[in-house]
């Protein structure tokens, strides 16, 4: 991954995928012109390619391996194709053609019949992988338990292939040090594990790629239930290392459920790319990165409908993480940004910051969430060109008053949500009080449309106002919030209710410096 003048890219041997931040003045109908020139002899323009797009990313194919290119992006007038200005340029290079380690061939001999357990064979291929090779999962269904990737490895899951996690908790042993719902603890290994947890240390696993047109799936609800039931027995037998709940947990499954494996787990990882895949049916969260940086995910479909706590993509005390061009149908949050819980999160003090989310949509689930575990801080989050209108909560920024920490400098533009909510919540509130009240400040929501929809049958928690901005008390208000060029759905005209004493669609309580520019369409 490289960044120059605001442009970023990832590469294969014959493609470059480019992305960039959306300019503040790029209104609806804008376009971008992406030009790729041969960097060896740019004056000849022999390999110059020009492509136009309406979103802030672009993949250019049919390129030469191990070849340098120069990529520029211009903002283009939508009416007359006039170039308005250059947004940036980057010198990029495709990779070499890698030798494929096909897991079905000797010496690995994995069997893609959906019944044979292939953990040992696939792990051997991953162990053999280096910077010049890639592990290939060909067409078929390859049953496996937990796998581990090391630095400079690549896993390719081909079209028609499924890397399928089992439903047996024993296949996800050993327990490893991880973090779940803001607390460091021992959890079962995830289906794919990258790096080792160390909240004081730097990255210990770098330059990993997981890509392809296939699927990586886990054991879903069956695995979820089996893990929770087994962990309850371990707790009764005094064998569990799960931290006991302090105060009332949300239910009998809360504490034993925290040891569940994720689909892909990154701890202290750097420069990881996940692209093109169908990801889902984890026993809990699907892609979870902890104390990691420069993680990019694009072109993926997340499916975990029906899985309790089945988040899609969760950066947790991470920096410089980007997701774009993805579709979600999840059993919980599509995206949840986190940074630890209560005194432990305050003490570790590793914020999530410089998170970019764009051109994503959800077909089902809760939407985009910042919190509730945010005790290490959340800072510099940008969201644009997203559609979360079919979710229960839309965009939610939340915490309990025990958390401490902060959420600040959040900008969401040119997107559609079912709701926007900034508030305290009563759940996930076990654990020691940090002695500090969270700070919510400096946020802007511009050119946003709100559609009050509730497709999640049986889950009415999101039902209420289009916008809710509520501080924790008069001494701890939400402050510095701007709503500009805001549009409501025709069936739910906006009305401001500063005293929160009616059935209006906007509720404000314990706020300071909140402004609105509303269009009731």
pLDDT of res. 13: 97
Q: Which residue has the tokens 């442009």?
A: 7
| Contact of 469 with 478, CB cutoff 8 Å | yes
Residue predicted with more confidence, 39 or 204: 204
pLDDT of res. 5: 53
- Is the pLDDT at 118 greater than 50? The verdict is yes
In terms of C-beta density within 10 A (0-12 exposed, 13-18 middle, 19 or more buried), how is residue 160 classed? Answer: middle
- Is the pLDDT at 496 greater than 70? The verdict is no
Return left, alpha or beta for 229; rule: phi > 0 is left, psi -120 to 50 is alpha, else beta.
alpha
Give percent of the chain above pLDDT 70: 89
pLDDT of res. 287: 98
Give percent of the chain above pLDDT 90: 78
Measuring CA to CA, which residue among 402, 470, 467 is closest to residue 432?
402
pLDDT of res. 517: 82
- Is the pLDDT at 124 greater than 50? The verdict is yes
- Is the pLDDT at 50 greater than 70? The verdict is yes
pLDDT of res. 47: 63
For the segment 394-422, what is each residue's pLDDT rounded down to a tens digit? Answer: 999 999 999 999 999 999 999 999 999 99
- Is the pLDDT at 391 greater than 80? The verdict is yes
Give the mean pLDDT of the chain.
90
> Could you tell me how many residues make up the chain?
521
| Contact of 291 with 315, CB cutoff 8 Å | no
Measuring CA to CA, which residue among 44, 110, 52 is closest to residue 83?
52
For the segment 206-257, what is each residue's pLDDT rounded down to a tens digit? Answer: 999 999 999 999 999 999 999 999 999 999 898 887 776 555 567 788 889 9
Give dist(CA 458, CA 495) in Å, integer. Answer: 27
Residue predicted with more confidence, 202 or 517: 202
Mean pLDDT of 453-457: 47
In terms of C-beta density within 10 A (0-12 exposed, 13-18 middle, 19 or more buried), how is residue 233 classed? Answer: exposed
Poorest-confidence range of 1-10, 92-101, 488-497? Answer: 488-497
Residue predicted with more confidence, 480 or 83: 480
Alpha-carbon torsion angle 425, 356, 411, 302, nearest 10: -50
pLDDT of res. 452: 64
Give dist(CA 155, CA 168) in Å, integer. Answer: 23
Mean pLDDT of 304-316: 94
pLDDT of res. 495: 46
Structural tokens at position 36: 């790729």
Residues 421-443: b if buried by 16+ CB within 10 A, e if exposed: bbbbeeebbbbeebebbbbbbbb
Structural tokens at position 448: 């946003």
What backbone torsions phi and psi does residue 286 show, to the nearest 5 degrees? -90, -60
> The pTM is what?
0.93
pLDDT of res. 90: 94
Domains and CATH numbers, the chain: 2-93 (2.60.40.10), 98-326 (2.160.20.10), 332-521 (2.160.20.10)
CA–CA distances in Å: residue 359 to residues 20, 29, 400: 12, 15, 30
Give dist(CA 369, CA 374) in Å, integer. Answer: 11
Structural tokens at position 511: 């706020």
Structural tokens at position 39: 């960097």
pLDDT band, very low/low/confident/very high, at 117 (cuts 50, 70, 90): very high
pLDDT of res. 454: 52
For the segment 145-179, what is each residue's pLDDT rounded down to a tens digit? Answer: 999 999 999 999 999 999 999 999 999 999 999 99
pLDDT of res. 25: 80
């Amino acid at each position: 991954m490289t960044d120059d003048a605001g442009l970023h890219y990832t590469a294969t041997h014959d493609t470059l995928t480019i992305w960039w931040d959306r300019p503040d003045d790029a209104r609806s109908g804008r376009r971008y012109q992406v030009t790729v020139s041969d960097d060896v002899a740019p004056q000849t323009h022999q390999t110059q390619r020009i492509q136009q797009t309406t979103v802030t990313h672009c993949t250019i194919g049919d390129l030469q391996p191990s070849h340098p290119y120069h990529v520029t992006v211009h903002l283009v007038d939508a009416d007359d194709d006039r170039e308005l200005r250059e947004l940036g340029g980057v010198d990029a290079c495709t990779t070499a053609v890698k030798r494929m380690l096909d897991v079905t061939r000797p010496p690995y001999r994995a069997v893609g019949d959906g019944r044979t357990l292939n953990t040992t064979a696939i792990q051997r291929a991953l162990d053999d992988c280096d910077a010049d090779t890639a592990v290939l999962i060909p067409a078929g269904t390859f049953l496996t338990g937990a796998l581990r990737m090391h630095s400079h490895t690549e896993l390719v899951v081909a079209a028609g292939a499924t890397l399928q996690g089992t439903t047996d908790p024993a296949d996800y042993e050993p327990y490893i040090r991880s973090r779940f719902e803001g607390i460091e603890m021992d959890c079962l290994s995830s289906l794919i594990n990258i790096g080792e947890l160390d909240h004081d240390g730097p990255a210990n696993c770098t330059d990993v790629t997981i890509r392809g047109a296939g699927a990586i799936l886990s054991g879903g609800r069956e695995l979820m239930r089996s893990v929770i039931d087994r962990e309850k027995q371990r707790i009764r037998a005094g064998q569990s290392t799960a931290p006991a709940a302090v105060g009332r947990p949300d239910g009998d499954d809360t504490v034993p459920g925290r040891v569940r494996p994720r689909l892909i787990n990154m701890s202290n990882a750097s420069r990881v790319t996940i692209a093109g895949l169908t990801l889902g049916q984890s026993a809990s969260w699907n892609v979870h990165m902890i104390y990691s940086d420069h993680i990019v995910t694009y072109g993926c479909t997340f499916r975990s409908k029906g899985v309790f706590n089945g988040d899609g993509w969760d950066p947790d005390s991470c920096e410089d993480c980007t997701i774009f061009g993805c579709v979600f149908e999840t059993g919980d949050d599509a995206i949840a940004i986190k940074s630890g819980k209560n005194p432990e999160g305050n003490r570790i003090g590793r914020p999530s910051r410089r998170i970019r989310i764009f051109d994503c949509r959800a077909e089902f689930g809760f939407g985009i969430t910042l919190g509730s575990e945010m005790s290490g801080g959340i800072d510099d989050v940008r969201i644009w060109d997203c559609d979360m209108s079919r979710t229960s909560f839309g965009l939610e920024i939340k915490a309990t008053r025990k958390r401490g920490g902060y959420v600040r400098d959040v900008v969401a533009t040119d997107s559609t949500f079912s709701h926007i909510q900034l508030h305290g919540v009563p759940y996930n509130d076990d654990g020691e009080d940090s002695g500090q009240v969270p700070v919510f400040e400096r946020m802007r929501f511009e050119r946003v449309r709100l559609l009050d929809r509730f497709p999640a049958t049986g889950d009415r928690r999101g039902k209420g106002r289009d916008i809710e901005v509520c501080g924790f008390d008069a001494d701890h208000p939400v402050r510095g919030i701007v709503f500009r060029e805001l549009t409501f759905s025709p069936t739910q005209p906006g009305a401001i209710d500063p005293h929160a004493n009616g059935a209006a669609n906007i509720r404000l309580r314990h706020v300071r410096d909140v402004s609105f520019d509303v269009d009731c369409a």
